[in-house]
């Protein structure tokens, strides 16, 4: 198999209906949240192969994570753990603020260890994708991520990193050297401008990230589109104008769009157009992964133009 | 103040709508679960004063626990903690099985320590009530419970213990000596026959528990009613025939009924009748604490007779 | 037109979802409640003509009452009034208790006056049906009911009375002479045994009611079926065994069944069998009027046997 | 106690889900509505003490009003009344029109009398707040409001008045002299420009209101911000740009913000900034009182600048 | 009777809650969809008489169609058919795309035949209205529509046609001659510019349609308003600025507005203003027919100006 | 692969919430219905391999059918068809009657043809399972089913038939010879006593079916358990006492239990016990396939005893 291989923590997420204080919510839905599994689903919806590895607890939430990923066409390597599966609660306090509470400390997903990473799967992958979230979860998670990266490099498999700095999980001070180290080992890197500024000094995040080593640097900047330096050539793609209803998951859709097209052998310009379109589609749909589009939905949205 | 003082862990609980696999649930409600806070609410609904002490996390769930208890008339001593508030998920897999998943390991509530227990509150209480759940949560919780019990004894305040053995939290082997020790320090003890059998040898749980020291022993036996030995006199009260829809929380309602009447100066026979009626009412209402009755609702149900 | 003519108050009714305290209800539905309009709907569903007269307020609830009755095939004579439409709130406190709060004092429906009653409609009706609820609402309502009855008698149109004593509206002392007077003017009377006992002295409610004058007396006794004395012949019809889920509206369904068959020219035995079946069907469906059956639904249920 | 004391009518309010005709609504929620109780909740959420006085009926709605206010931290003086608690129904007919039906005539809340007003509570208050709604409900309500105002003045407690003209309750002709009289007795007055125009002649509502006597005049003008004349100094604070979803309750939030800061000893500029921010937050949340913010939520929104 | 007579297919429509993939929808509502029945409801809500003719299946959906139309004040001529009633499923895939699936092939509604058309009803109508949808459903439907049109012409009853081209039902190639033929027999025609371009050659759709014969041509152009040529005089009415939430059903509301006013004897300018206002109101309400306004709702919206 | 291979029609099914007339349903859920796909899901949940073949339409419902089966672990061979996917509507009219409307005539699923059946898949299967529903859908469906059966026989793969007579699809007269023919070609046959009586003459359905040829005959008789004749030995297994809430899907669960154990190499007694337990579990859960248990859920239920 030559598709995407990714690893990380996926959690159950309770999302409150409506807008208002959490205590007034009339009801909740239970979904699955996880940046890496979102990317895996996104790649699968766009027609690529995708495998996700992670630990899940002995509870129904763990089973739901595996089932929902499989339903979306993702191959699941779920390592059973005796700790409970992590949970999140998300509610919209007002039309302007979304709040998220983590209930994930000590969770099954945070107990991933290097030995969980299957060498053969890594070696057979078309690309290995990790994020900067997993190293923040625990020492063993950090070791597992770097182990997977090194296994990929040893096998000649390209490594993709989405920086994804999470201030609720660790301080900027703790995160910066780890994220810098991770990026320096990557072939493909995705970051927002503020994330990049955590560990690079130049004003231009594209250049700064590229100097750390990755041959493909993509800086996502939300409604301003993206800038990239791919094998020495610069690209800029503006955002598509859409009626945004929920920005959650847009970054993962963007990454999935780029990587799906990369796996499919598309050129960099096309990858970026697909990334922009996938991210644009995602913000027109509420939810973490409900907005990940398939190819026909992307086509309906239109494609975006490279302006340089 | 001369009411009930209790301490323990209260959690957010997501309860799935309908019957079926968790993954098929259309929606959830968020409630508050905790044996000790249920008893506090139950006493307040029956007109008594009640105070609950516990740790809550810096998340909206922690705030909801405090708000809902206050709304029910309970005085709340919420100790803020940096760990997240514990969660539970409950769903009805079939008409015959209710499943509950704990997501509480390492929670704020499990980080209670003896220093959290306010000596003056204990000394001023009319009764101090604890359960066998809290000692199972952590070493510091166990120490806090025993500390509260000893403070009460030192102040001449009667101690009430509901044995409440939870097999998901600790083994019978680990639990038995702790629960026996706890009961031996109590003035009032509530247990089911199977719970009592964990740490007493006689066939008669009432006698066995009484030999450990408590002057008031009440053995709750669900649909068979209850048996008691109170200051040397035996009582038996049959269950009230009701259309049961949800047995969750019935034990807590029973305890609340007994203790509310004890605080109100009722004689033992009346306490037991109220306990039986409160437990009966609770099983006619879905939910943990929605079935805790007020006095007018108890009156509507009828009272039950002492048959011996 | 030769169908049913009835008059009374219909209200908006908010019914809480689920079981528990009103304050915990997750949601409500808005329906239409009214004993007389229920009977009118029931007759229409069974294929008869039915007309309902009442006052409604200048609010959306008033419009809904008219629309829902028309949707059920009832001809509506809605007298507009400047007072607001009456409301009810109903919730199920436990599996055993249903609570209903009236918010109807001073409502539009209670301001019906004799002049609202159209003489020509009365004279052209096949039967005029009233209940003992309306006289309890106000002095003008009482006058309107007796006026309608006298207009019917003057025109040779038979009068049907459902005693329907409501303790929340007036005392037994106030109600007894009014209900007795009303029954004494009726050709057809429906009552429960307790209702009859309000104003008759004999042990046998059938005989007692018959002595007041009505040629057709039907005593409904819930799960025990009914007894009747119709033009001098006694009937007893046992109840049909059904899986009851909601007894609200069963009495109105019973009356509708009897009167629909009476209008259709069926003999007394058949009227009673239809009444029993309609009442039986009604208790298998939640809601006030959702359980009123059509002829095919009655047929599916089976018919019931006259045992004497 | 030196907090807010207010009095008035609170009602149960059924709010329809979604947008469309009332008859098509799939469901409703039951909340609590009342301008004065909203202000009391708002002050409590912002950390102040608040007491609400009103009559409630012997129904579950009355109990819910008391419970919800207590849950929000408001001290409740509920005078029991035999009349039913008033109700409202609110639905959104289209994206542009919200409709509200009052079902409150003759309600418990409208039966407040001067003797209900506790002199000692008034005398101990930090401020007494009334609105122009209550005098429109009944003669006794009007008397009670003026009685409370005079008791406060006699005790040297400042009086706050929110003009709150309600065209559904009384005509402009009837209202004008009463509202003018009420304002003339106030120390603090809140009004919209159209409300002020009911009973003052000048073009400038701030000046016009100030001439009636109040030392603190605040004119709220929705999306245009507010203007004030406070102890002789003029202030203007622009509105904060927010994504408005529901303007109901914004005026009450504004008043609560001003009064909470006044009770906390803040200077007039800060009171107005808090008022503007609280009103702005309220319009970003659906519901009457769900949008009343706490201090941390206000901080997240930002503060607003005094431009003069 | 001198009102609107229309005929066509009405279907049950399941509309998914929320936004996202159909498979993620939490719930659905069941409504009634059909361009002709929408127009009939619209005319009835505006105070006109309206009759709808169509075939319905022997299922509950067929009964619901008849009941809902009757509830809206439409006279229903439902021809029973042994085939099942057609269904539609509608869901909003994103904030920008609404998807509709037809499950209507072979449905009862598509089996309408000329013999179903009652000559006397046609002859007594004030106007006969058909759409270009029905001829696409089946050969017999096409024949029935043209039969109704010819019966109307023979009886001197004006004929109204809404072109309503549906690409999911037939190709432009198949549709063009049929729609052109239908329009050429009409007195009143409604079309969008793109629809008109299917079968006319001129750049100006108003002129092009008028050349085919109709004395009243109205070209609806959504947010740009409408243009018309009525008995030789041109009109243009701009759209009303509204907060659009759902454009489904707006065209039917427009047609209903025009025809209701035509039946009421209003002049062309007023008809068009009412049409524009009814269409504007419809887009402010979700759903097919929930947005059809009554006169008071139209008045609240305002009227629109004729600019030429 | 050596698992179950089955083929048939799966439909989208809209299930109404609550109890009452379809027109009063507040909401619906969209599920997947199909006897053969239920059996495939059931086998997969019990740990077996299962493949389902069928035609689906070009609509979202078709995609949902494939996705939900895959999510349940079933391998899906979905043949795309241009006709729409079939639909069902199910509602509970009362506590005693469930109604189902088919909207499936001419559906994609009914257009299955023999050429759709993949010879290699059949030959590699462990068992081929068909039902008596599919032959009733269309001539091509009937041909496809018999073609699959003959292919299996030719390849030495055992054939399983569930008689599943559906009176809504064909008459007893039409069905009898086809079902008899189908059974005579089977190795394993499942039927209810009434179904068997359609085409056998003896009083004993087990004997009668066995005489037609199948070496394994299982007669399911609901609450009375089952009787079987398997390779010449008779078995009887009583039903398990459970709290039934929904009998839909119980027969499919029974068949899945038997076939899963057969594929797993269990002896006949064990297969029947598993079948009984799976059917028992299914009736304790609402829905078509939500009640299909996994092995741990079966174990929780208990096993049942062979009494002969």
Q: Which of C18, C93, C96 sits opposite B242 (nearest CB)?
A: C96
Side-chain-side CA neighbours of residue F130 (13 Å):
31
Rounded CA-CA distance D211/E124 in Å is 69
Chain F CB within 8 Å of residue D308 CB: no
Mean pLDDT of A10-20: 95
Q: Residue C299's pLDDT band (boundaries 50, 70, 90)?
A: confident
Cα–Cα separations (whole angstroms), residue A27 to A285, B26, B57, B175, D64: 19, 9, 22, 37, 20
Answer yes or no: do F60 and E105 touch at CB < 8 A: no
What percentage of chain C carries pLDDT values higher than 90?
86
pLDDT at B225 over 90: yes
Q: Which of C243, C244, C287 sits opposite F20 (nearest CB)?
A: C287
- What mean pLDDT value characterizes chain E? 94
Strands ordered across the beta sheet of B216-220:
B75-80, B50-56, B4-7, B127-131, B159-162, B188-191, B216-220, B226-230, B233-237
Q: Residue B202's pLDDT band (boundaries 50, 70, 90)?
A: confident
What percentage of chain B carries pLDDT values higher than 90?
85
Q: Check residue E247 and give its pLDDT.
A: 87
Q: Which residues of A touch B83 (CB under 8 A)?
A: 105
Chain C CB within 8 Å of residue F18 CB: yes
Answer yes or no: do A290 and E96 touch at CB < 8 A: no
Answer yes or no: do E67 and C70 touch at CB < 8 A: no
Q: Residue B300's pLDDT band (boundaries 50, 70, 90)?
A: confident
Nearest Cα of chain D lies from the Cα of F28 at a distance, in angstroms, of 12
- Tell me which DSSP letter residue B185 carries: T
Q: Which of B29, B281, B291 sits opposite C26 (nearest CB)?
A: B29
pLDDT at C263 over 70: yes
Q: Check residue E201 and give its pLDDT.
A: 85
pLDDT at C130 over 80: yes
Per-residue model confidence as pLDDT tens digits over C66-122: 989 988 889 999 999 999 999 999 999 998 889 999 999 999 999 999 999 999 999
Nearest Cα of chain E lies from the Cα of F159 at a distance, in angstroms, of 33
**CB proximity list for E69: less than 8 A, separation 6 or greater:** E10, E32, E37, E40, E41, E52, E76
Mean pLDDT of E129-143: 98
Residue of chain F with shortest Cα separation from A68: F71
pLDDT at C307 over 80: no
Rounded CA-CA distance E291/D20 in Å is 7
Chain E CB within 8 Å of residue B23 CB: no
Q: Residue B292's pLDDT band (boundaries 50, 70, 90)?
A: very high
Residue of chain B with shortest Cα separation from A29: B27
The complex scores an ipTM of 0.92
Q: Which of C30, C67, C102 sits opposite D84 (nearest CB)?
A: C102
Q: Which residues of B touch C93 (CB under 8 A)?
A: 285, 297
Answer yes or no: do B84 and A106 touch at CB < 8 A: no
Per-residue model confidence as pLDDT tens digits over F178-208: 999 999 999 999 999 999 999 998 889 999 9
Tokens 């199909």 map to which residue?
Answer: F34
Cα–Cα separations (whole angstroms), residue B192 to A34, B164, B227, D90: 43, 8, 10, 50
Residues shown for chain F: 308
Classified as helix, coil or strand, C118 is coil
pLDDT at D303 over 80: no
Chain A CB within 8 Å of residue F71 CB: yes
Residue of chain E with shortest Cα separation from C68: E71
CA quadruple F1, F5, F10, F14: dihedral sign: negative
Domain A36-56+114-302 in CATH 3.40.1190.20: yes
**CB proximity list for B91: less than 8 A, separation 6 or greater:** A60, B15, B16, B20, B21, B22, B25, B98, B99
pLDDT at E300 over 70: yes
Rounded CA-CA distance D149/D134 in Å is 13
Per-residue model confidence as pLDDT tens digits over E225-278: 999 999 999 999 999 999 888 888 999 999 999 999 999 999 999 999 999 999
Q: Check residue E307 and give its pLDDT.
A: 33
Chain E CB within 8 Å of residue F18 CB: no
Task: Identify any residues that bridge with B21 across adjacent strands, giving them in sequence order.
Answer: none
So where are chain D's domains?
36-56+114-302
pLDDT at B21 over 60: yes
Answer yes or no: do B89 and A64 touch at CB < 8 A: no
Q: Residue E156's pLDDT band (boundaries 50, 70, 90)?
A: very high
pLDDT at C162 over 90: yes
Per-residue model confidence as pLDDT tens digits over B75-87: 999 999 999 999 9
* Exposure string over B106-119, b if 16+ CB within 10 A, otherwise e: bbbbbbbebebbbe
Chain B CB within 8 Å of residue C21 CB: yes
**CB proximity list for E106: less than 8 A, separation 6 or greater:** E83, F105, F106
Q: Residue A82's pLDDT band (boundaries 50, 70, 90)?
A: very high
Q: Residue D302's pLDDT band (boundaries 50, 70, 90)?
A: low
Rounded CA-CA distance A80/A83 in Å is 9
Rounded CA-CA distance D37/D15 in Å is 18
Q: Check residue D44 and give its pLDDT.
A: 96
Q: Check residue F305 and give its pLDDT.
A: 36
Q: Check residue C303 and give its pLDDT.
A: 42
Which of B:282-301 have CB within 8 Å of C? 284-287, 290-291, 297, 300-301
pLDDT at F170 over 50: yes
Chain F CB within 8 Å of residue E25 CB: yes
Q: Which residues of F touch D24 (CB under 8 A)?
A: none
Mean pLDDT of E81-108: 94
Nearest Cα of chain C lies from the Cα of F16 at a distance, in angstroms, of 14
Tell which of A81, A90, A103 to mutate to test the B interface (max B CBs under 10 Å): A103
Nearest Cα of chain D lies from the Cα of C17 at a distance, in angstroms, of 9
Distance from the first to the final alpha carbon of chain B? 35
Residue ranges of alpha helices (H) inside chain A are 35-45, 60-71, 119-124, 139-155, 172-184, 193-197, 205-211, 250-263, 268-283, 295-301
Nearest Cα of chain A lies from the Cα of E162 at a distance, in angstroms, of 28
pLDDT at E304 over 50: no
Strands ordered across the beta sheet of E233-237:
E75-80, E50-56, E4-7, E127-131, E159-162, E188-191, E216-220, E226-230, E233-237
Concerning whether A252 is annotated as a catalytic residue, the answer is yes
Classified as helix, coil or strand, F220 is strand
Q: Check residue F304 and give its pLDDT.
A: 40
Q: Check residue E302 and give its pLDDT.
A: 58
Chain F CB within 8 Å of residue B302 CB: no
Q: Check residue A222 and give its pLDDT.
A: 83
Answer yes or no: do F95 and C243 touch at CB < 8 A: yes
- What mean pLDDT value characterizes chain D? 94
Of A139-153, B289-303, C143-157, give the lowest mean pLDDT range: B289-303
Torsion of Cα atoms, F285 then F289 then F295 then F299, to 10°: 20
Q: Check residue A302 and give its pLDDT.
A: 58
CA angle D125, D83, D144 (to 5 degrees): 30
Q: Check residue A301 and give its pLDDT.
A: 79
pLDDT at C168 over 80: yes
Q: Residue E303's pLDDT band (boundaries 50, 70, 90)?
A: very low
Cα–Cα separations (whole angstroms), residue A69 to A30, A283, A297, D185: 14, 21, 20, 67
**CB proximity list for A173: less than 8 A, separation 6 or greater:** none
* Exposure string over B235-269, b if 16+ CB within 10 A, otherwise e: bbbebbebebebebbbbbbbbbbbbbbbbeeeebb
Q: Check residue B302 and give its pLDDT.
A: 58
Torsion of Cα atoms, E116 then E120 then E121 then E123, to 10°: 120
Rounded CA-CA distance C109/C145 in Å is 13
Nearest Cα of chain B lies from the Cα of C283 at a distance, in angstroms, of 17
Cα–Cα separations (whole angstroms), residue E250 to C223, E70, E102, E279, E302: 53, 21, 20, 5, 17
Q: Check residue B2 and give its pLDDT.
A: 82
Chain C CB within 8 Å of residue F93 CB: yes
* Bridging pattern class, strands B98-103 and B87-92: antiparallel
- Tell me which of F224 and D189 has the higher pLDDT: D189
Question: Which subunits count as partners of chain C given 3+ CB pairs below 8 Å?
Answer: A, B, D, E, F
Rounded CA-CA distance B149/B128 in Å is 7
What percentage of chain D carries pLDDT values higher than 90?
85
- What mean pLDDT value characterizes chain C? 94
Paired tokens of A292? 């990940």
Q: Check residue C304 and give its pLDDT.
A: 40
- Tell me which DSSP letter residue D57 carries: -
Q: Concatenate the DSSP letters of all residues of B43-111 into one string.
A: HHHTT--EEEEEEE-SSHHHHHHHHHHHHTT-EEEEEE-SSPPPEEEEEESSSS-EEEEEE-TT-GGGG
Per-residue model confidence as pLDDT tens digits over D31-57: 999 999 999 999 999 999 999 999 999
Per-residue model confidence as pLDDT tens digits over D57-99: 999 999 999 989 988 889 999 999 999 999 999 999 998 889 9
Rounded CA-CA distance F299/D234 in Å is 78
Question: Which subunits count as partners of chain D given 3+ CB pairs below 8 Å?
Answer: A, B, C, E, F
């Amino acid at each position: 198999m030559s598709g995407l291989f990714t690893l990380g923590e996926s959690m159950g997420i309770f999302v409150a209906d409506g807008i208002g204080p959490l205590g007034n919510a009339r009801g909740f839905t239970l979904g699955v949240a996880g940046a890496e599994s979102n990317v895996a689903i996104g790649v699968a919806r766009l027609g690529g192969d995708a495998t996700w590895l992670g630990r899940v607890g002995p509870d129904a939430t763990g089973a739901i994570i595996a089932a929902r990923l499989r339903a979306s066409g993702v191959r699941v390597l779920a390592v059973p753990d005796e700790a409970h599966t992590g949970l999140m609660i998300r509610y919209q306090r007002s039309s302007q603020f979304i709040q998220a509470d983590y209930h994930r400390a000590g969770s099954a997903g945070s107990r991933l260890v290097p030995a969980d990473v299957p060498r053969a799967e890594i070696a057979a992958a078309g690309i290995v994708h990790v994020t900067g979230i997993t190293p923040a979860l625990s020492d063993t998670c950090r070791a597992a991520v770097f182990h997977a990266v090194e296994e990929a490099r040893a096998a000649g498999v390209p490594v993709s990193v989405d920086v994804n700095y999470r201030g609720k999980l660790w301080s900027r001070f703790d995160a910066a050297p780890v994220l810098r180290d991770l990026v320096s080992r990557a072939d493909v890197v995705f970051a927002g401008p503020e994330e990049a500024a955590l560990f690079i000094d130049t004003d231009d995040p594209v250049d700064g990230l590229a100097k750390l080593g990755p041959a493909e640097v993509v800086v996502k900047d939300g409604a301003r589109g993206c800038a990239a330096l791919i094998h020495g050539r610069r690209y800029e793609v503006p955002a598509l104008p859409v009626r945004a209803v929920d920005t959650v998951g847009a970054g993962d859709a963007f990454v999935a769009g780029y990587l799906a097209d990369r796996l499919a052998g598309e050129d960099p310009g096309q990858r970026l157009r697909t990334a922009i379109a996938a991210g644009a589609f995602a913000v027109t749909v509420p939810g973490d992964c409900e907005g990940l589009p398939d190819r026909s939905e992307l086509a309906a949205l239109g494609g975006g133009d490279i302006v340089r």
